Structure 1
Amino acid sequence: MTRQFFARASPEVSAAVRQGASVAVATGLYGISFGALAVVAGLSVAQTAALSLLLFSGGSQFALIGVVAAGGSPVAAVATSTLLGARNMLYGAVVSPLLSLSGWRRLGAAQLTIDESTAVAVGQRTPAAVRAGFWATGIGVFVLWNVFTLVGALAGDALGDPRAWGLDAAAGAAFLALVWPRLAARTAQLVAGLAVVVSLALVPVTPAGVPVLAAAAVAVVVGLVAPPARPSLRTGGGA
């Protein structure tokens, strides 16, 4: 069946599907880290699995458990996660006209609109490849992320006290690793630097979670003052 698909599909579509599959494997495997860290931060295995299934936004999930692990309030954890997840609305504005979906397919696409599926989709040259890349990446990441989240949660549950393994600071390190590759642009570096300064200033004097919210507010302010350049989308048939 797979061979028949690749035999009939155009080279652009086949390449998009292969790219989406490779991205899905790399991203899905990282779910092990989230599952383990969420459990040692205090969530149950069921709560951890539900979080990946329903929220399905890696950065937002790591931010949430980071606040929880630091002793922050549920309100601060949800607010921090929501602020970071708001970027998916911008992704939706980009991919929606490219996919041209309606009904239940539109709802499904909304759940699968993440960093990876958007990046693969907008990097394609033809409308068919855009759609193939989006769905291959989105579905692949969703399935593997949830599977490996459960694997990591079961492993983390068996570890016991996170401090005995040095995992009490691992959530922050994991989130930093997730963000680090995105700091190539100068605007991103400026946002990160200002956010660090604001967070360090607030950590000694505010409850856990508040410095993260303030750091997110820095990004909003910078975005309003210096809006990012709009991406160049290629959806025509040629180069």
Structure 2
Amino acid sequence: MAHPADQDPPRDDAFAAGVRAGVPFALAGFLLSLSFGVLARDAGFPAVAAVVMSLVVFAGSAQFAAVSIVAAGGGVGAAVGAAALMNARFLPMGVALAPSLPGRAWWRAAQGQTVVDSSWALANRGDGTFDRAFLFGCSGVQYVTWALGTVAGVAGGDLVGDPSALGLDAIYPAFFLAILIAELRAERDGGGRAPRVAAAGALVALVLVPLTPPGVPVLAASVVALVGLRGVRGAAPVPTAAEAGP
């Protein structure tokens, strides 16, 4: 079965394919952001602040970490620090994506703001390059539902009640498991090495969870994955920004 980003269709077709591929994650994201809206409201966040946070940050793990720390009585500094650690995984992801983005540094940085875990994994062609239009489409549909879910959560939290009572707390692990499966499929040409790298990253994260602050296990696992897969992708030619197209 071909990975959706294995081919290089016209840009409009790639964007539409990205939207279609992102719909299941967007639906899951809606439920997650619904939970976030309820949690933020219960933690004392003004409705506008919660919605703006979703529009600007657009990173579920970081948002949940920050709001949970504030709800537990932690300070703003601790909340921001935890959120930054959770989002630090985007640094190696950005390094991998950068050669597939055209333009000057500031324009590549702006395009990089569209990256979320699922779109990054699905847009991966498996040879070290990424389908930029596919990534934009996949992230775009998720951004819309993430914002709408947050609005629904802060506005209708009384109707939702306790998110865990509805089983919404199970969506997060299922969400990232789906991303992992997609990424392993994209790496299937790596001679079977990708599953071993994923297992090593998971083991590192599992060991560090009870020992380190939130975000550190994710960052450490990301570093393990980046180092482990470097050899798999090292032999693949990576196009320059000019070769990647406008």
Give the TM-score, by structure 1 length. Answer: 0.68
**Higher deviation after alignment, 66-75 or 226-235:** 226-235
For 1:78 and 1:191, the matched residues in 2 are separated by 24
**Structure 2 residue 60 is matched with structure 1 residue 46:** no
**Matched position secondary structure for 1:43:** coil
**Structure 2 residue 173 is matched with structure 1 residue 177:** yes
Partner of 2:79: 77
The higher radius of gyration belongs to: 1
For 1:168 and 1:73, the matched residues in 2 are separated by 25
Residue 73 (structure 1) shift = 1.5
Unpaired stretches in structure 2, ≥5 consecutive residues: 1-8, 182-194, 240-246
Identity of aligned residues (%): 29
Partner of 1:206: none
Give the TM-score, by structure 2 length. Answer: 0.66
Residue 136 (structure 1) shift = 0.2
Instruction: Call closer, same or farther: CA 1:27–1:176 in 2, change over 3 Å.
Output: closer
**Matched position secondary structure for 1:229:** helix
Instruction: Call closer, same or farther: CA 1:60–1:219 in 2, change over 3 Å.
Output: closer
**Matched position secondary structure for 1:113:** coil
Partner of 2:64: 62
1:50-199 maps to which residues of 2 (within 5 A)? 50-102=52-104, 105-123=107-125, 130-156=131-157, 158=158, 173=169, 177=173, 181=177, 185-198=198-211
Amino acid at match of 1:114: V
Amino acid at match of 1:229: L
Instruction: Call closer, same or farther: CA 1:134–1:118 in 2, change over 3 Å.
Output: same
Instruction: Call closer, same or farther: CA 1:146–1:16 in 2, change over 3 Å.
Output: closer
Amino acid at match of 1:147: L
Instruction: Call closer, same or farther: CA 1:225–1:36 in 2, change over 3 Å.
Output: closer
Residue 190 (structure 1) shift = 1.9
Residue 99 (structure 1) shift = 2.4
Instruction: Call closer, same or farther: CA 1:101–1:58 in 2, change over 3 Å.
Output: farther
How many aligned positions are there?
208
Aligned residues of 2:206 and 2:217 also touching (Cα < 8 A): no
Aligned residues of 1:20 and 1:133 also touching (Cα < 8 A): no
Instruction: Call closer, same or farther: CA 1:22–1:123 in 2, change over 3 Å.
Output: farther
Residue 76 (structure 1) shift = 0.9
Instruction: Call closer, same or farther: CA 1:93–1:20 in 2, change over 3 Å.
Output: same
Aligned residues of 1:53 and 1:146 also touching (Cα < 8 A): yes
**Higher deviation after alignment, 21-30 or 63-72:** 21-30
Partner of 1:37: 39
Aligned residues of 1:124 and 1:130 also touching (Cα < 8 A): no
